[in-house]
Amino acid sequence: MAEVINMPRLSDTMEEGTVAKWLKNVGDKVEEGDILAEIETDKATMEFESFYEGTLLHIGIAEGDGAPVDSLLAILGEEGEDISSLLNGGNANAAEEESADEASEPESDSSESSDDTTASAEVPEGVEIVKMPRLSDTMEEGTVAAWLKNVGDTVEEGDILAEIETDKATMEFESFYSGVLLYIGIKEGESSPVDAVLAVIGPEGTDVDAVLNAKPSSGKKESSSSEAKKEAPKKEEAKESAASKPVADGQRIFVSPLAKKIAKEKGIDLSNVSGSGDNGRIVKKDVESYKPAAVAQAPKAASQAAAPASAPVILPVGEESSEEVKNSQMRKTIAKRLSESKFTAPHYYLTIEVDMGNAMASRKQINELPDTKVSFNDMVVKACAMALKKHPQVNTTWNGDTTRYNHHVHVGVAVAVDEGLVVPVVKFTEQLSLTQIGSAVKDLAGRARNKKLTPAEMDGSTFTVSNLGMFGITEFTSIINQPNSAILSVGAIVQKPVVKDGQIVVGNTMKVTLACDHRTVDGATGAQFLLTLRAYLENPVTMLA
């Protein structure tokens, strides 16, 4: 069903609004929360968001045109929906309201004259009564979610007074006046209808009770002469323009609220900024790209010579840039397989710390042999293969209705390449010596980086080892390389104080983390596997027996 959106009343004194810019066109899809248009009120230019979803079927007020509050602004609905009845109904309603207004004019005149006779006081000059605003076209009452100012606080134009909850959303309500917050009419959590007294702002020491009991001047006493009626709004507008709106050479500066906020944070004088928006309006990009002039103007320098001004904060500016690179087939495969693993296998992680003192000494002795080169990663791979033979539950594959126990051990070794990650497989690892494992891993890793591996050399793993210790990573977790049930993450060897025989000594430790698929490997099973692995690494001679 189509939804009619009327011109909202975005401030407590707003009688009509001007559409500064439409951000959606007829036919565009609109989501709840999308900015429909920028609307210029009597106080500021504000973004107006949609509270409905659908297709923009009709725009009732063109850019640059003004219309009274509650005028037809737009219609949202389903694509192709007939809205002629809404358009005709809106025109009929407008005509009825106009005729009703004309019929009631004499009565209102008489009531005005009676009001004049009973009015005993007026709101003092400089004091402003802030009323509950209508922040959406269907809002009948509002709830104060939070006050951001307290009675006695100084309020500047543009400061956020409160957060107001409407029937659609919770929105920040900013002050259009400067002064002291003298009175709060609606407490936090309380609700009141639109136009109820929300707050009073004015000079410190003002008699608030007198202000609340006074009858605000609305131009009734000027009704004796048509010239006086026209003159009062002009004076009020001139006063407001001088007091609350940015001016440049006596002219109002049109600026979006966001641009105004950024300029205030950066200390930028908006009178020096050129606007690129409609009608010279200053927008966000104008403020962000603004560069102060290198040489100050002579008249300003002369007038400010007596009072030294603080240097403006110059923040870095630049051009945002990006590029899109097409994903390689390898990158797509990695993303697909790891996503399937992470979202189908219930991962959990177990971490243990290993004393690598004996492993370092053993590796040094082994590498002193001619034509022999063994790395710590080779020792980890060998220890994993032997631990898997003792804990076959970790060397399994989940098949839904069955669990496959692998009696052979094929250890996959993760290797980083330019386009991602590959996992060549060392077949029958439990039958290989340390030197054989070292040679096999070196050969497979080299051919992986040169893209010379065959599919058969990357298939069939029953367990995987991923080592980032060479990059200084001390601890991390990995995603299981399915159809494996577990993967071991190996960190760097770190020198740090450890306790041995009740004494603090310098030790060399390494953290390893086992990621397990809880469908096949229970916590106790994973923990026992890690204890066996640590025993092999802390006593490498046992791997040679």
Half-sphere exposure of 540 (CA within 13 A, CB side): 24
Say how far apart CA 428 and CA 419 lie, in whole Å.
28
Say how far apart CA 172 and CA 349 lie, in whole Å.
45
Judge whether 42 counts as a catalytic residue: no
Say how far apart CA 452 and CA 429 lie, in whole Å.
21
Q: Which tokens belong to 131?
A: 């009323």
Closest CA to 243 of 85, 374, 161, 126: 126
Say how far apart CA 143 and CA 60 lie, in whole Å.
30
Strands across the sheet containing 45-49? 45-49, 35-40, 16-22, 66-68
Per 3-state DSSP, the chain is made up of helix, strand and coil in percentages (nearest 5) of 35, 25, 40
Active-site residue, selected from the candidate residues 70, 159, 355, 518: 518
Judge whether 518 counts as a catalytic residue: yes
The number of residues in the chain equals 545
Beta bridge mates, 147: 162
Beta bridge mates, 252: 247
DSSP 8-class letter at 134: B
3-state secondary structure 78-130: CCCCCCHHHHHHHHHHHHHHHHHHHHHHHHHHHHHHHHHHHCCCCCCCCCEEE
Q: Which residues does the annotation mark as catalytic?
A: 518, 522
